[in-house]
A and B are shown apart, each in its own frame.
Chain A
Amino acid sequence: MSRILALTGPGQPAPEGAPQPEPRRPAIALDDVTKVYGHGDDALVALEHITLEVPRGQFLSILGSSGCGKSTLLSIIAGLEDVSAGRVVVDGGRPSLMFQEAALLPWLTVGRNVELPLRLRGVARAEREWEVERLLRMVHLENFHRKRPHELSGGMRQRVAIARALAQSSEVLLMDEPFGALDAITRDILHEDLTRIWEETGSTIVFVTHNVREAVRLGDRVVLLKPRPGRMARQWWIDVPRPRRYEMPEVGALADEITEHLREEIRSHGRT
């Protein structure tokens, strides 16, 4: 493996108060991963030779145009799909997963939705109540405990989904374009929420998006995938200090640079 990353790379403040056992061991390690769907002539190579290490506590943005295998990559890390070749090691138990839709269970209240992962883990009742309370406070929804998902806005539902993902208390949080369907103001607020929660919990986040500014605003590091088959094109370390805002010139400059590369990747497919 060519890339062994130091835990505190440029632009990465060590999360305060977060437990950091065995700092050398990455949270996620993909070693030469290839994923093929189908067989023979119909075979579709979704991912090819992906080698990637995500250190503990890193916020990694994965960027790419459609068809580059971003979602497949997340499913593989989540353990929902097998690889065709290569090796995947994920530390700290089953990763939590978030999607573009909040996918809350519509028959449960907000509180019950957040509680479900705790119930599935067999956490005792008293502790569950306390923990749900704490998680809802973290996403500023402590007053919405008894509401049903359909009574909330899209942004609020995603915040509940964040709380539910945290309730799994896994080290790794995988997010598949979670804010893609939200309006600009709501998305901006959620970016701040997510950054704050990440700093408080010290979890490792893999955040898939096709929005370059979003990737730069949030990530310690941005990996650009190129499509058909999905491979790693380039990566950037983002050392813009936090708190970051969209209006910051450094964010804009980096986003422009990455966008140019993304466009180049897409153009190259038009030529062939």
Chain B
Amino acid sequence: MAAPDRDAVTLEAGLDALELAHARRPPWWRRQLVPLTARLVAVGAVILAWQLAVALHVMKPAYLLPSPGEVFAVLVDQAQAGHLQEAIFNSLRRGAVGYAFALVFGTVFGILVSRVRLLRIGVGSLLSGLQSLPSVAWVPIGIIWFGLSDATIYFVVVMGAFPSIANGILAALDNIQPLLIRVGRSMGARGVGLYRHVIIPAAMPGYVAGLKQAWSFSWRSLMAAELIAHSQALGLGLGQMLDNGRALSDLALVLLAIFAILVVGVAIDELIFSPLETGIRRRRGLVEGA
């Protein structure tokens, strides 16, 4: 009796050990080394090609294509005057406030559409349609309703971003494995408990994917709104900086604004949304090699 029993236990332990014999993850700096180098090389190559184009006078007259050095000089100038920091701060603040509104509105709306059958039939397809509508289209309405104020900009950002969030949570709720809900119910989870322990966590990957996409929509919508809504009261944002460059025919300033928009947009995504998404996916075994 004892012998076969112990035999089974060691056999079991052996199988378990075989299962877990995989390598540890390398430290973060090792994992970042290759992608970081690749990116630096890519940026370097672009700057090099750009410098080459300036040197070869591809664009004539020369003021149509300022050199990397000229743009850098404008960067130093704008930073010393405090304009660049002000523009980035204002844009980020508006982006964050608009995004927060979109987050609340999109989440509530997505849940309602998912749970209320009539609403889903009526509004479901409209939501996907809204996502493909360029958010610039909301600027005129915003200006007429709210004037040249922050409210206009928030409005445009919300209209641009909330469909991604609503669609994300809608898809996430639709894609929950029915078996998980069955398991939750058989364990006695009902109502709020079922949402808290099963439905909400199960929907997280899809929801966060929507949040990530909504950030890029927010940032885009914000730039469109700032480019058009231009007033003393609104102060300087990256979009306005872009428009100032156009008005002054200062291409170096325009290019600086474009870079700033790109860098800030990517940085927020890389620092907040991508780690959030890969963290959630890795914990669930949805990332290969993790």
Residues of A within 8 A of B (CB): 78, 80, 94-97, 99, 101, 103, 105-108, 116-117, 119-121, 140-141, 144, 147-153, 155-156, 164, 168, 185-186, 189, 192-193, 196, 243, 245
Contact A78 B186 (CB under 8 A): yes
Contact B180 A97 (CB under 8 A): no
Please pick, from B1, B9, B187, B204, the residue contacting A140 in the complex, using a CB distance under 8 A. B9
Contact A103 B187 (CB under 8 A): no
Contact B19 A107 (CB under 8 A): no
B24 at the interface (CB under 8 A from A): no
A221 to chain B, nearest CB (A): 23
**Residue on A nearest B189 in the bound complex, by CB:** A120
B175 to chain A, nearest CB (A): 13
Contact A140 B13 (CB under 8 A): yes
Contact A192 B8 (CB under 8 A): yes
B182 at the interface (CB under 8 A from A): yes
28 contacts between A and B (CB under 8 A): A78-B186, A80-B185, A94-B186, A96-B187, A97-B183, A97-B186, A99-B179, A99-B183, A105-B180, A105-B197, A106-B283, A120-B189, A140-B13, A140-B16, A141-B16, A148-B283, A148-B284, A149-B285, A150-B284, A156-B19, A164-B187, A168-B187, A168-B188, A185-B11, A185-B15, A186-B15, A189-B11, A196-B5
Q: Provide the B166-202 mask, 1 if CB < 8 A to any CB of A, else 0.
A: 0000000000010110110111110001000110011
What's the Cα separation between A116 and B196 when bound, in Å?
Answer: 11
Q: Provide the B7-24 mask, 1 if CB < 8 A to any CB of A, else 0.
A: 011011101100110000
What's the Cα separation between A137 and B283 when bound, in Å?
Answer: 24
Please pick, from B11, B19, B185, B285, the residue contacting A106 in the complex, using a CB distance under 8 A. B285
What's the Cα separation between A244 and B40 when bound, in Å?
Answer: 65
Residues of B within 8 A of A (CB): 1, 4-5, 8-9, 11-13, 15-16, 19-20, 177, 179-180, 182-183, 185-189, 193, 197-198, 201-202, 204, 280, 283-285
Contacts A99-B182, A193-B12 known; 16 new A-B pairs at CB < 8 A: A80-B186, A95-B186, A97-B186, A103-B179, A103-B182, A107-B202, A117-B188, A120-B197, A140-B13, A148-B285, A151-B20, A152-B19, A156-B16, A185-B11, A189-B15, A196-B5
Q: A101: which B residues are within 8 A, CB to CB?
A: 179
Q: B12: which A residues are within 8 A, CB to CB?
A: 140, 189, 193
Q: A94: which B residues are within 8 A, CB to CB?
A: 186, 188
B188 to chain A, nearest CB (A): 5
Please pick, from A117, A141, A150, A155, the residue contacting B187 in the complex, using a CB distance under 8 A. A117
Most chain B CB within 10 A, of A101, A116, A156, is at A116
B73 to chain A, nearest CB (A): 51
Contact B179 A106 (CB under 8 A): no
What's the Cα separation between A148 and B286 when bound, in Å?
Answer: 12
Please pick, from A96, A120, A152, A156, the residue contacting B193 in the complex, using a CB distance under 8 A. A120
**Residue on A nearest B290 in the bound complex, by CB:** A150
What's the Cα separation between A149 and B186 when bound, in Å?
Answer: 19
**Residue on B nearest A191 in the bound complex, by CB:** B8
Contact A96 B186 (CB under 8 A): yes
With contacts A80-B182, A94-B188, A103-B183 known, is A153 near B16, CB below 8 A? Answer: yes
Q: B185: which A residues are within 8 A, CB to CB?
A: 80
Contact B188 A107 (CB under 8 A): no
With contacts A189-B12, A189-B15 known, is A121 near B188, CB below 8 A? Answer: yes
What's the Cα separation between A127 and B187 when bound, in Å?
Answer: 18
Q: A164: which B residues are within 8 A, CB to CB?
A: 187
Q: B188: which A residues are within 8 A, CB to CB?
A: 94, 117, 120-121, 168
Q: A119: which B residues are within 8 A, CB to CB?
A: 197
The 3 closest A-B pairs by CB, nearest first: A150-B285, A97-B186, A153-B19
Most chain A CB within 10 A, of B11, B12, B13, B204, is at B12
**Residue on B nearest A190 in the bound complex, by CB:** B12
**Residue on A nearest B284 in the bound complex, by CB:** A106
What's the Cα separation between A168 and B187 when bound, in Å?
Answer: 7
Q: A185: which B residues are within 8 A, CB to CB?
A: 11, 15
B14 to chain A, nearest CB (A): 10
With contacts A105-B198, A116-B187, A116-B197 known, is A189 near B8, CB below 8 A? Answer: yes
A143 to chain B, nearest CB (A): 8
Contact B13 A105 (CB under 8 A): no
A198 to chain B, nearest CB (A): 15
B177 to chain A, nearest CB (A): 8
Contact A107 B15 (CB under 8 A): no
What's the Cα separation between A151 and B237 when bound, in Å?
Answer: 47
What's the Cα separation between A113 and B186 when bound, in Å?
Answer: 14
**Residue on A nearest B287 in the bound complex, by CB:** A150
A182 to chain B, nearest CB (A): 11
What's the Cα separation between A168 and B177 when bound, in Å?
Answer: 22
What's the Cα separation between A101 and B280 when bound, in Å?
Answer: 22
Most chain B CB within 10 A, of A99, A106, A121, is at A106
Please pick, from B15, B180, B284, the residue contacting A155 in the complex, using a CB distance under 8 A. B15
Q: A149: which B residues are within 8 A, CB to CB?
A: 285
